[in-house]
């Protein structure tokens, strides 16, 4: 583990390694010429734990420092850790255990990204490759591994590493050429779906990957990409399309974005980097990209720096995400061209580059709120064709889709700000009658919602997606109907039959008491609380009328020294009876039981299944209320937690400094509330505020919201939007 000037992050990283359940390891700390207090922290750790030892060298960079550590390492297996990241406690037990079972050359695990403002969430580049366990696979059989470009989420056999003589080059982005080569040269590779690495995303933008627009950083990125393409050309031509698409999407886009901030004296050098990369990339990569990406590619090929600067600024200012307007072709009215405000005349730019494909002019229809009324499920949402202004004479149809049959719903439309911020008739309310759902055939597992929209000559049709994370289900007759978010984001309305149900919960001293209803045919009488590496078994009591009680002693569940999540310090347990999950049908709020400085809380999954969360006794949000311009957040009060200063915090660009708006806080013996008038957040444009707690002597932390409190989000307040991101609460100024 190399380190360089990371005194703020080093101790938590080292502590996460010391807590590993796989105990037989050594940590080689490579001090790469640190000038801050990092070395003192490392030395103190080495003095306490003989498994940690330190090597000191002059600053050479991450790649050479990793090579130094590799030369010093004595173990049968080899892994790498970046000094500002965290490793879950069971990571190496899972990865080494997998290698022991399969004899593969290396094993890789899933990764999470984390910071205070965004919480903990799935790493985008690892989401597909590590979605499920895949023992003894290979990159040529499973090409998604070709974009698994980081070195740190893997354990390598040392014999395999030495056989091929892997070394890291003395550049940034040194991982990708080595990891891709290892994937290709491995006999087999194990993929572990459980998270085995937590990858920090700094609020300040200090890290190597977040200083991505500096010229030296860009140059190393291109050198790394060229090395990767060399590996593919020599050893795995079958991966060419996959790797080139990835490099065009990530690395080339980064080079183009740099034109928005590069100083004048660096523009020619940045342009040459773009030329180098585009000369190597397969032109076929650009045949099916958006008009905007074609413009970027054309600008690089033509050396049009002015065009590239305008495109980069448009992207940086959010204009691309908002959806620039399309314009009808003057001669061919069925065609549309991208109109990018502020761009120069089209002289010299082939007209075909501006042509927008049908895929770009897609219908975006999403449900933002689902509520159950006496006679219907009411769906509130937005619908607009991307890049095309929604007009007053446009039409919208929303239908329930069951198999091949579409049944239209009653729809009302209203004005909302569209993607570009203009008030247009993009909002809709549709009602799904309960009678319609009740009449679904017994063998029909789920129904979907289909939106069809026409604006002028353009007609688009698409399944409605779910913008909410925690939709609420309800009972219709003998069946439970649960709205769900499918893997591709679309809304599903599913009839639930034969489910084990949680009908109630409460606290009895230091015990969490659950009331469960078991359907006929379920004979198992044990509730199993599963976590990543162990299981707690709780016997069921009673049974009259199929109703059982599970009494969970909180002290037996609390594991304060080794939580699964090394950042939030918590463990999520999944209750099951047999192999069946428990559906929550009788509870709309969390129930929590404290135990020392820890709390065991009942939570719900996005599909409304029962979870239990064991976490530190910190400030947590259980209630949200919006009244006019005032947002009020509240929750339970736990002994030892500090509720004195609760703030909405906005980080300044590229800085750890922040602006705080202090809430009006009220605390009594059992609860707390914190209120803010959104007009107090100031005139900052497009700002994103996160709710923080700041206690005496403790690091400030983003307040986590209980899942039951999130069912009403997102909420809009004139120019602000209240929403959640990975459990953290945000107020966004638009």
pLDDT tens track for 320-371:
766 677 777 776 766 777 776 555 555 677 777 878 888 888 999 999 999 9
Strand order in the sheet with 363-372: 410-417, 423-433, 376-385, 363-372, 465-466
Rounded Cα gap, residues 154 and 98, in angstroms: 11
pLDDT at 208: 43
Q: How many CB atoms lie within 10 A of CB 411?
A: 17
> pLDDT tens across 368-395, in order?
999 999 999 999 999 999 988 899 999 9
Q: Is the model's pLDDT at 552 over the cut of 90?
A: yes
Q: Is the model's pLDDT at 210 over the cut of 60?
A: no
Answer yes or no: are the C-beta atoms of 247 and 277 closer than 8 Å: yes
Rounded Cα gap, residues 44 and 456, in angstroms: 70
Cα separations in angstroms, 232 against 183, 237, 281: 11, 5, 12
What does DSSP assign to residue 91? H
CATH, domain range 363-495: 2.60.40
pLDDT at 175: 93
pLDDT at 345: 59
- Give the three-state DSSP class for 507: strand
Answer yes or no: are the C-beta atoms of 615 and 638 closer than 8 Å: no
Question: Minimum mean pLDDT among 312-326, 339-353, 544-558, 667-681: which range?
Answer: 339-353
Give the right CATH number for 620-733 from 1.10.3470, 2.60.40, 1.20.120, 3.30.200. 2.60.40
Exposure string of 33-60, with b = 16+ CB inside 10 Å and e = fewer, is: bbeeebbebbeebbeeeeebebeeeeeb
Superfamily holding 2-200: Spore Coat Polysaccharide Biosynthesis Protein SpsA; Chain A (3.90.550.10)
Answer yes or no: are the C-beta atoms of 74 and 183 closer than 8 Å: no
Q: Is the model's pLDDT at 645 over the cut of 70?
A: yes
Rounded Cα gap, residues 138 and 149, in angstroms: 15
* 3-state DSSP of 284-323: HHHCCCCHHHHHHHHHHHHCCHHHHHHHHHHHHCCHHHHC
Fold observed for domain 500-616: Immunoglobulin-like (2.60.40)
Q: Strands of 510-597 (E only): list them.
A: 511-517, 526-530, 535-542, 547-553, 571-577, 580-584, 592-595
Contacts of 404 (CB under 8 A, 6+ apart): none
Q: Strands of 418-498 (E only): list them.
A: 423-433, 446-455, 458-463, 465-466, 474-476, 479-485, 491-496
Handedness of CA 327, 330, 336, 337 (dihedral sign): negative
Q: Is the model's pLDDT at 669 over the cut of 70?
A: yes
**Residue 190 backbone dihedrals phi, psi, to 5 degrees:** -100, 135
- Return residue ranges of the chain for CATH 2.60.40: 363-495, 500-616, 620-733
Rounded Cα gap, residues 246 and 353, in angstroms: 21
Interval 693-713 mean pLDDT: 89
> pLDDT tens across 446-472, in order?
889 999 999 988 999 999 999 988 999
Answer yes or no: are the C-beta atoms of 413 and 427 closer than 8 Å: yes
> pLDDT tens across 214-257, in order?
888 899 999 999 999 999 999 999 999 999 999 999 999 999 99
pLDDT at 207: 45
- Model confidence at 684, pLDDT cuts 50, 70, 90, reads low
* Percent of the chain's residues with pLDDT above 70: 95
Interval 417-439 mean pLDDT: 91
Q: Strands of 80-152 (E only): list them.
A: 106-115, 119-122, 134-137
pLDDT at 209: 46
Exposure string of 117-147, with b = 16+ CB inside 10 Å and e = fewer, is: bbbbeebebbeebbeeebebbbbeebbbbbb
> pLDDT tens across 593-619, in order?
999 999 999 999 999 999 999 999 999
- Model confidence at 35, pLDDT cuts 50, 70, 90, reads very high
Max mean pLDDT among 211-215, 500-504, 624-628 falls in 500-504
> pLDDT tens across 469-525, in order?
899 999 998 889 999 999 889 999 998 888 999 999 999 999 999 999 999 889 999
């Amino acid at each position: 583990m190399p380190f360089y000037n990371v005194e703020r992050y080093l101790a938590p990283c080292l502590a996460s390694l010391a807590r590993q359940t796989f105990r037989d390891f050594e940590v080689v700390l490579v001090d790469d010429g640190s000038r801050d207090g990092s070395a003192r922290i490392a030395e103190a750790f080495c003095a306490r734990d003989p498994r940690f030892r330190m090597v000191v060298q002059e600053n050479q960079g991450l790649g050479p420092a990793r090579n130094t550590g590799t030369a010093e390492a004595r173990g049968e297996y080899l892994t790498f850790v970046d000094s500002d990241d965290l490793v879950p406690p069971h990571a190496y037990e899972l990865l080494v255990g997998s290698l022991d079972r399969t004899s593969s050359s290396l094993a890789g695990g899933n990764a999470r990204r984390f910071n205070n403002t965004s919480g903990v969430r799935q790493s985008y580049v690892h989401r597909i490759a590590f979605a499920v366990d895949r023992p003894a696979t290979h990159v040529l059989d499973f090409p998604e591994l070709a974009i698994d470009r980081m070195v740190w989420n893997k354990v390598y056999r040392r014999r395999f590493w030495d056989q091929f003589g892997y070394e890291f080059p003395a550049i940034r982005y040194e991982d990708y050429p080595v990891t891709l080569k290892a994937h290709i040269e491995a006999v087999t590779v194990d993929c572990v779906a459980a998270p085995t690495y937590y990858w920090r995303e700094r609020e300040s933008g200090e890290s190597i990957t977040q200083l991505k627009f500096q010229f030296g950083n860009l140059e190393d990125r291109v050198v790394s990409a060229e090395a990767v393409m060399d590996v593919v050309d020599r050893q795995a031509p079958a991966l060419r399309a996959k790797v080139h698409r990835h490099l065009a999407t990530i690395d080339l886009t980064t080079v183009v974005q740099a034109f928005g901030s590069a100083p004048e004296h660096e523009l020619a050098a940045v342009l040459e980097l773009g030329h180098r990369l585009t000369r190597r990339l397969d032109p076929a990569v650009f045949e099916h990209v958006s008009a905007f990406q074609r413009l970027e590619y054309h600008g690089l090929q033509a050396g049009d720096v002015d065009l590239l600067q305008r495109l980069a600024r448009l992207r940086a200012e959010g204009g691309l995400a908002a959806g620039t307007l399309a314009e009808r072709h003057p001669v061919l009215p069925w065609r549309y061209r991208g109109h990018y405000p502020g761009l120069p005349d089209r002289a010299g730019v082939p007209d075909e580059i501006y042509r927008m494909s049908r895929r770009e002019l897609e219908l975006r229809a999403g449900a933002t709120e689902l509520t159950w009324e006496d006679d219907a499920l009411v769906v509130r949402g937005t619908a607009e064709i991307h890049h095309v202004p929604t007009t007053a004479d446009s039409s919208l149809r929303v239908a329930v889709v069951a198999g091949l049959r579409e049944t239209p719903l009653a729809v009302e439309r209203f004005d909302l700000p569209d993607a570009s911020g203009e008030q247009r008739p993009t909002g809709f309310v549709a009602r799904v009658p309960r009678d319609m759902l009740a009449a679904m055939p017994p063998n029909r597992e789920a129904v979907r919602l289909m939106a069809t929209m026409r604006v002028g000559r353009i007609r688009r049709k698409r399944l409605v997606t779910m913008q909410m994370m925690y939709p609420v289900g309800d009972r219709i007759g003998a069946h439970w109907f649960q709205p769900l978010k499918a893997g591709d984001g679309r809304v599903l309305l599913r009839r639930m039959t034969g489910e084990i149900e949680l009908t109630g919960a409460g606290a009895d001293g230091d015990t969490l008491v659950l009331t469960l209803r078991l359907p006929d045919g379920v004979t198992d009488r044990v509730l199993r609380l599963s976590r990543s590496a162990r299981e707690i078994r709780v016997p069921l009591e009673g049974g009259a009328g199929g109703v059982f009680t599970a009494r969970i002693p909180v002290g037996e569940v609390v594991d304060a020294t080794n939580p699964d999540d090394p950042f939030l310090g918590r463990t999520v347990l999944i209750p099951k009876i047999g192999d069946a999950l428990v559906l929550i049908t009788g509870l709309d709020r969390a129930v929590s039981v404290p135990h020392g400085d820890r709390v065991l809380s009942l939570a719900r999954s996005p599909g409304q299944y029962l979870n239990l969360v064991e976490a530190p006794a910190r400030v947590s949000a259980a209630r949200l209320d919006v009244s006019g311009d005032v947002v009020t957040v509240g929750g339970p009060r736990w002994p030892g937690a500090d509720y004195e200063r609760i703030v909405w915090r906005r980080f300044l660009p590229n800085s750890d400094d922040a602006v705080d708006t202090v809430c009006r806080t009220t605390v009594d013996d059992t609860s707390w509330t914190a209120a803010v008038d959104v007009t107090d957040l100031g005139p900052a444009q497009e700002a994103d505020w996160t709710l923080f707690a700041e206690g005496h002597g403790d690091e400030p932390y983003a307040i986590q919201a209980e899942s039951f409190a999130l069912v009403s989000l997102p909420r809009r307040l004139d120019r602000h939007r209240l929403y959640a991101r990975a459990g953290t609460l945000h107020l966004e100024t638009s």
